């Protein structure tokens, strides 16, 4: 069988501890077929370097290149995360566009392609991941690469009007035509992209799975909802529940219920709105006050971006305000933690929680929602409160679905979840876990790669 080549901004190197389920899934695919994982090393250097860092482990090669400080600033911190990230999360008000950072973004993609092309074999299947690398295949084609190349977008797709607000939108999204198969998280994302194509992209939708550009190039598109390693999360949660970190957390609660949130520190996650909703829950349901503690774990990400620095200050202020107004000598309503925990410990925390708040303003999928469900004890499961605007909502309709902008609605959903009868909790959980066991991350990547190979 042909070799698989994975390309992503960051590479999960074999000597690094990576918690993400995606990394595990991609490594599994690479080991299954033999292959190569290519991307940025994570290192920033002063001067441009053509050095290629290569490691080998279990029939997989890992090849990385360094970025200069200027490349990182323009490509990663700049266009990828201050232009594309807010645009694709419906936040046009936060888009910071400049021709300079766009030029660096394209130049880094070109350099990725130029360093990758000589490593490819004629029958390799190439799988490119996420918004950092949209133009990559276009440059590979210019270099004469004729391999099957697929692309998967892990983040949402906004409405066509928002996509068209990007000054360089035609050039950027036309580059997707160089791929053979473009995958999106949900049918809604696919539909929004297919609305954009005839309105602003100059192409046409041939059928539900085929797009034709103005130049006549056809490529396939589809929805491939990403999932988790369900069996692994179930096993981790059961094992971690009796271990010291989880036991210390449970003991510290003093018999109170636990509401948990676990998110990267990002404005797309709706954390200020969630904090306000929990405070409104305390106000609207005084009979439950003092019975529950809300633990929000939010590791810092992209700390050099001003919007993220501002968000952290806002959350610190909100946590202090809520605790100052509502705490008692023996009880602190909000615990706000800015640090990472090992993945198995988080699985134990999920199992210990009565309620999970997963309320992003917009999310491509949100795997925390799925991991929380997988971590539960089926005899006494917790309740998932889930934003309608997370991709996971279409797969987990048995969760308590909320509008994250509706502070009162989320407040009432917390109370509903905390007081939900055991039989209802078990019925909701059983429907969700059955789906997650069937459609796990291995099924996701096998389906995508099978369809890419069939193009």
Q: Which residues are catalytic?
A: 154, 363
H or E stretch at 450: helix 441-454
CA atoms of 132 and 312, how far apart (whole Å): 24
CA atoms of 252 and 386, how far apart (whole Å): 26
DSSP structure class, residue 338: -
Start-to-end CA distance of the chain, whole Å, equals: 16
CA atoms of 342 and 365, how far apart (whole Å): 21
Closest CA to 170 of 148, 142, 199: 199
Instruction: Tell me how far CA of residue 120 lies from CA of 143, 184, 310, in angstroms.
Output: 12, 25, 43
CA atoms of 448 and 128, how far apart (whole Å): 12
H or E stretch at 169: helix 169-174
Residue 282's contacts (CB-CB under 8 Å, 6 or more residues apart) are: 288, 289, 322, 326, 333
Beta partners for residue 383, in sequence order: 355
């Amino acid at each position: 069988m042909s070799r698989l080549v994975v390309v992503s901004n960051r590479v999960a190197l074999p000597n690094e501890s990576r918690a993400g389920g995606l990394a595990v899934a991609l490594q599994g695919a690479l080991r299954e077929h033999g292959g190569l994982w290519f991307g940025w090393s994570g290192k920033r250097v002063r001067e441009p370097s053509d050095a290629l860092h290569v490691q080998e482990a279990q029939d997989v090669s890992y090849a990385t290149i360094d970025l200069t400080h200027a490349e990182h600033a323009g490509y990663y911190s700049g266009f990828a995360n201050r232009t594309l990230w807010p645009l694709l999360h419906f936040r046009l008000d936060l888009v910071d566009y400049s021709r300079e950072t766009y030029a660096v973004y394209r130049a880094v993609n070109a350099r990725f392609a130029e360093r990758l092309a000589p490593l490819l074999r004629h029958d390799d299947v190439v799988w490119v991941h996420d918004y950092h690398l949209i133009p990559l295949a276009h440059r590979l084609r210019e270099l004469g690469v004729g391999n099957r190349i697929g692309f998967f977008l892990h983040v949402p797709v906004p409405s066509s009007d928002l996509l068209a607000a990007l000054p360089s939108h035609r050039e950027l999204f036309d580059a997707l035509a160089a791929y053979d198969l473009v995958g999106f998280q949900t049918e809604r994302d696919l539909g929004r992209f297919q609305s954009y194509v005839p309105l602003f992209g100059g192409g046409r939708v041939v059928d539900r799975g085929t797009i034709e550009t103005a130049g006549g190039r056809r490529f396939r598109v589809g929805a491939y909802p990403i999932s988790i390693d369900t069996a692994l999360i179930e096993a981790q949660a059961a094992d971690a529940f009796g271990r010291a970190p989880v036991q210390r957390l449970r003991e510290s609660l003093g018999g109170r219920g636990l509401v948990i949130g676990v998110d990267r520190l990002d404005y797309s996650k709706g954390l200020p709105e969630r904090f306000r909703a929990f405070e409104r829950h305390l106000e609207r349901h005084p009979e439950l006050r003092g019975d529950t503690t809300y633990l929000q774990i939010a590791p810092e990400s992209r700390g050099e971006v001003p919007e993220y620095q501002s968000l952290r200050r806002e959350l610190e202020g909100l946590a202090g305000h809520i605790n100052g107004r509502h705490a008692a000598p023996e009880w602190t309503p909000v615990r706000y933690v800015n640090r990472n925990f090992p993945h198995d410990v988080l699985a134990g925390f999920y199992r210990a929680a009565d309620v999970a708040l997963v309320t992003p303003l917009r999310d491509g999928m949100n795997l925390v929602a799925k991991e929380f469900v997988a971590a539960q004890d089926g005899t006494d499961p917790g309740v998932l409160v889930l934003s309608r605007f997370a991709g996971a909502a279409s797969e987990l309709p048995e969760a308590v679905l909320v509008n994250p902008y509706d502070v009162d609605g989320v407040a009432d959903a917390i109370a509903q979840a905390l007081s939900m009868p055991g039989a209802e909790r078990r019925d909701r959980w059983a429907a969700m876990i059955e789906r997650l066991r069937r459609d796990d991350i291995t099924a996701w990547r096998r389906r995508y790669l099978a369809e890419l190979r069939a193009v």
